[in-house]
A and B are shown apart, each in its own frame.
Chain A
Amino acid sequence: MSENFEPNVVAFLCNWCSYAGADLAGTSRIEYPSNLNVIRVMCSGRVNPMFVVNALQQGADGVLVSGCHPGDCHYMEGNFLARRRVALMRELLNFVGVDERRFNMSWVSASEGAKWRDVVKGVVDNLHEVGAFTEFPRKKIDW
């Protein structure tokens, strides 16, 4: 992998916890890698696994889905539902040969600015190792 490869990460953050957590990291001047493209969703349960496939197709090297801690979901059970879907989609992607480190999930609450930094750092460091996504991005197939 080239020295200056910077992974492109799409992050789906739940409105109530993780987005606020990322916000807190910002207002607290906690520095974290700037590879993220954040998409705010109302709940991690809103994240259709096809979003992930689509993000990879459109040029993401990795995806992060982040929601509230178990029991803290604003909608009671959205993050639990998301967990099952993510678990299965990760296995499926892994099975066809896409490194599972490209698809991450985390629980980050509104007060965990420091944890947010650690999560993002971990994801980005992993992706530096895994490298650019070359399996099935949309690109010019012919001319």
Chain B
Amino acid sequence: MTEIFGVPTQALMGQLMIGLVNGSFYAMLSLGLAVIFGMLNVVNFAHGAFYMMGAFFSWMLLNYFGVNYWWSLLLAPVGVALVGIVIEKTMLRWLYQLDHLYGLLLTFGIALIIEGIFRDQYGVSGQPYDLPEIFKGAFDLGFMMLPKYRAWVVVACLSVCLATWFVIERTRLGSYLRAGTENPKLAQAFGINVPLMVTLTYAFGVGLAGLAGVLAAPVYQVSPLMGSNIIIVVFAVVVIGGMGSILGAILTGLALGLIEGLTKVFYPEASATVVFVIMAIVLLIRPAGLFGREK
């Protein structure tokens, strides 16, 4: 068997693949956080809870209503987005004038409540979500086995991220969003309905988290804790990439997933902390993040 630096190629590739899958989720979640932070000035601590909610909605749709995976991909994120709209309209709206800290505290509280509700109903042990038939099995690439579902997750996440980037950077709607992010008061004085944009942005951001949750359901166990497990890493990703940078969020998410994967191969003890070590270094050298603009 071939080896790279004393590690079998199979194992290396396998870990890189897992890293890429994790990185895809990081990218999608940090993208939503970046968009929300840009427009609302709120650090959405409830993002992990919405991700978990997406996974649970998808599990509930399958187990209570017999709705299949494909419909879940559409319905669960829409459900999460609707919850997001209610929260934005009834609670977050009142905090925009205040310091970031208040939004962070409120969303942190919301995260605990959502997590608490699901914990109360389903306990902390995870529920399995069966893979759809079409994704069972793996492609044999010769040098490694590529599970079909993991390939799908990476393709789906990257497509959604790129589509989001395209809409924001290249379309009319995106120019409204960029203008609203840069100077909301002026954009509104020009006749753009900024309050509506803000609500839709929050709905879209948490909807992305919900979609990531649906995609993650068959990979990880559907558990009330899955959100808080991933969200801390995602925040580190956002800090490294630079708050509010769209492309930064996507690229950093993928890169850190891969770095985590590599660390698991070469020095497993550090795999859980490597992201935070990188975060500390980046904060020392470029406090605005790798892709962020200094203010």
Q: Do chains A and B stick together as partners?
A: no
Q: List chain A positions with a Cβ less than 8 A from chain B.
A: none
Q: List chain B positions with a Cβ less than 8 A from chain A.
A: none
